């Protein structure tokens, strides 16, 4: 009989815990929306762009560096994404704390979209770039960060993320 009481007490405790967790989850505020910070003021390729200029449509922002192996691996897919109907005009790259030859990188991979310069990493830090490069940030039409992805992405993944933004 003692075993039955222990099982009952354990089940009651687990049910109480589950109810408390459910109540907390329902009562907790929804995820905080974070406005995208300012973009760098200088461009490596194309013209400088501001966050305000991006309002009205979703945008994919990739933080990369010319010396980064995974960035080189992903670079051809980034250009293919830029040429898709979804990615065209909705892609921006930020050269993050780069000490390599970014101009050679851009020529090699034929990137045809704006590339901004963040030489001291200030913008990347403001965007929370901490899991290595490349890191993708997806901004919705209101200028809010809605998703982040670290590591090389496929064209299909990028199309899906941008559509969801």
My answer on whether 130 and 67 are in the same domain is: yes
Which residue pairs from 147-152 have beta carbons closer than 8 angstroms and sit at least 24 positions apart in sequence?
151/70, 152/70, 152/71, 152/73, 152/74, 152/77
Over residues 80-98, the mean pLDDT reads 96
My answer on whether 131 and 65 are in the same domain is: yes
My answer on whether 15 and 62 are in the same domain is: no
pLDDT in tens, 103-115: 999 999 999 999 9
Candidate from 9-23, 62-76, 119-133, 141-155 with smallest mean pLDDT: 9-23
What CATH number is attached to the domain comprising 133?
Answer: 3.40.30.10
The pTM score is 0.80
My answer on whether 25 and 91 are in the same domain is: no
Give the count of domains, the chain.
Answer: 2
Q: Answer whether residue 57 shows pLDDT above 70.
A: yes
Check residue 23 and give its pLDDT. Answer: 34
- Cβ-contact 29, 138 below 8 angstroms: no
My answer on whether 147 and 102 are in the same domain is: yes
Q: Could you tell me which of 78, 57, 63, 58 has the C-alpha nearest to residue 126?
A: 63
pLDDT in tens, 1-27: 554 454 444 343 433 433 333 333 333
Q: Give the range of the structural domain holding residue 11, as residue numbers without chain letter.
A: 1-30
Given CA atoms 147, 127, 115, 55 in this order, what sign does their dihedral have?
A: positive
């Amino acid at each position: 009989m003692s075993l039955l009481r222990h099982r009952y007490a354990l089940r009651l405790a687990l049910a109480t815990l589950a109810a408390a967790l459910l109540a907390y989850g329902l009562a907790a505020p929804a995820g905080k929306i974070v406005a995208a910070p300012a973009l760098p003021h200088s461009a490596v390729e194309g013209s400088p762009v501001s966050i305000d200029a991006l309002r009205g449509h979703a945008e994919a922002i990739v933080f990369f560096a010319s010396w980064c192996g995974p960035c080189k691996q992903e670079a051809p897919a980034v250009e293919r994404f830029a040429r898709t109907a979804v990615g065209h005009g909705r892609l921006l790259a930020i050269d993050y704390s780069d000490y390599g030859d970014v101009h050679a990188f851009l020529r090699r991979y034929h990137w045809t979209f704006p590339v901004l310069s963040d030489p001291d990493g200030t913008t990347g830090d403001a965007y929370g770039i901490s899991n290595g490069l490349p890191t993708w940030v997806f901004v919705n039409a209101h200028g809010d960060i809605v998703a982040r992805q670290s590591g090389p992405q496929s064209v299909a993944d990028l199309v899906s993320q941008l559509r969801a933004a």
